[in-house]
Amino acid sequence: MRKNGEEPLSYPIGKTFPTDPKTAGIVAEFYEGITPKYACRSLRSMRFCKNVLTAPCPVKRALIDIGMRISGQYESLQGHLLRPKDNPKCSESIIGLEKRLEGAVPVALGLIRDFESSVEVGTELSDRFDRNFE
């Protein structure tokens, strides 16, 4: 985000979580025993939590930090609260993620072209469309 000139601490990350029934229905299909209604509630809860943890103000960040410690949830939740300075321990994984993103662009373009060809001409979709979570 910083590379794009955005400030991560004030970015409304909760807005990136779609909470509409259609999305919830799709999410529910991936988890056995989960209904679309339950998935929708979960997505809304996730959005709420992410919005609460958006803390550009040092005072709010400190209060959230104290609240997590008092409630005994610091270890499980502290990673969700963005810090003002990047964690140097994460630099290697950030570089790896950036490389994966760069490598994904040509794959995505190929899939888009393949899909367009399938829609326009009726060609068969690539086997790549059958893969998930890769």
Q: Report the pLDDT value the prediction gives residue 14, as an integer from 0 to 100.
A: 86
pLDDT tens-digit readout, 24-44: 999 999 999 999 999 999 999
Q: Report the pLDDT value the prediction gives residue 134, as an integer from 0 to 100.
A: 57
Q: Report the pLDDT value the prediction gives residue 60, as an integer from 0 to 100.
A: 93
Residues 6+ positions from 44 with CB-CB distance below 8 Å: 19
For 15-41, b/e burial (b = at least 16 CB within 10 A) is eebebeeeebeebbeeeeeeebeebbe
Q: Report the pLDDT value the prediction gives residue 130, as an integer from 0 to 100.
A: 84
Ranges of residues in the chain whose predicted pLDDT is under 70: 133-134
Alpha helices in 1-134, H assignment, sequence order: 21-29, 36-52, 58-70, 74-77, 91-121
Q: Report the pLDDT value the prediction gives residue 12, as an integer from 0 to 100.
A: 85
